[in-house]
Amino acid sequence: MTEHPHPAVQDIAPTEGWVYPLNARKAHYFYNELVSLCRGWMMFSLGAAKPDTFESPDDCKTCRRKLTKIQEEAKDAVSASSE
């Protein structure tokens, strides 16, 4: 049996990230679906999605707000399951 030292890393697929849709002035965040978090944009491929590594003034504010909420909920879930 082979154990991966970082199994979570193996699971990262380009199913979420910041994308500049064609004709968009802002980057929008896509989270496991092909519609942006602000529901304003659709992408057929997230291959060019960039991970959320820094805050940019080009980030769509609605997407940023919803992403922050998702991240906080994920944090809560992790701390709840470890207790």
Binding residues vs Zn ion (CB under 5 A): 28, 36, 38, 60, 63
Q: Which residue is nearest to Zn ion (CB)?
A: 60
Q: How far is CA 23 from the centre of its chain?
A: 20
| Cβ 42 to Zn ion shortest distance, Å | 11
Of 14 and 20, nearer to Zn ion (C-beta) is 20
Alpha-carbon distance of 28 to 35, in angstroms, equals 9
Cα torsion 51, 56, 58, 63: sign: positive
Of 46 and 63, nearer to Zn ion (C-beta) is 63
